[in-house]
Amino acid sequence: MNVIEEKVIDLHAHLSRDYTAKKYRVDELLEDMRAYPNMRRMISCLDGPVYLGNLEIEKLVKEYPDRFFGCAVINPKEDDALEEMKRCISTGKFKAVELNSLEHGYIPEITPNIDELFNLAERNNMFVKVFTGWGDHAMPNQWEYYLKRHPNTKTVFLHMGEFWDGYSCIEVAKRNRNLYLDMSGMYELSVANRAMRVIPHERFLFGSLFPNMLTKWSLEFIDAYKLNEEDRNRILYQNAEKLLSL
Partner 1 sequence: MRYFNFHAHLGKTTLGDANTVDDLVSDMKALGIEKAGICNLTLATMKAKNDLIHDAKQKYPDFIRAYAYLNFKDPTVIDEIDLRMKQGFDGFKIINQWEGIRSDHYPPMENAFLYLRKFNKVIQIGTGSTSTPYPFIEYARQYPEMQICFTHIGQRELGNSIIAAVKDVPNITVETSQNYDRFILRKAVDVLSSKRVLMGTDWPYKPQYTETHKMEDLGFSDEQLEDINYRNAARIWGDAI
Decide: is 28 part of the binding site for partner 1 (CB under 8 A): no
Decide: is 187 part of the binding site for partner 1 (CB under 8 A): yes
Q: Which of 25, 59, 137, 216 binds partner 1 (CB under 8 A)?
A: 216
Q: Which of 77, 214, 227, 233 binds partner 1 (CB under 8 A)?
A: 214
Decide: is 77 part of the binding site for partner 1 (CB under 8 A): no
Please report, as residue ranges, which positions from 193 to 212 form the binding site for partner 1 (by CB under 8 A).
193-194, 209, 211-212
Decide: is 78 part of the binding site for partner 1 (CB under 8 A): no
Q: What x-and-dash track marks residues 116-155 binding partner 1 by CB under 8 A? A: ------------------xx--------------------
Q: Which of 188, 202, 227, 233 binds partner 1 (CB under 8 A)?
A: 188
Over its C-alpha atoms, the chain yields an Rg (Å, rounded) of 17
Residues interacting with partner 1, by CB under 8 A?
134-135, 163-164, 185, 187-191, 193-194, 209, 211-214, 216-217, 220-221, 223-224
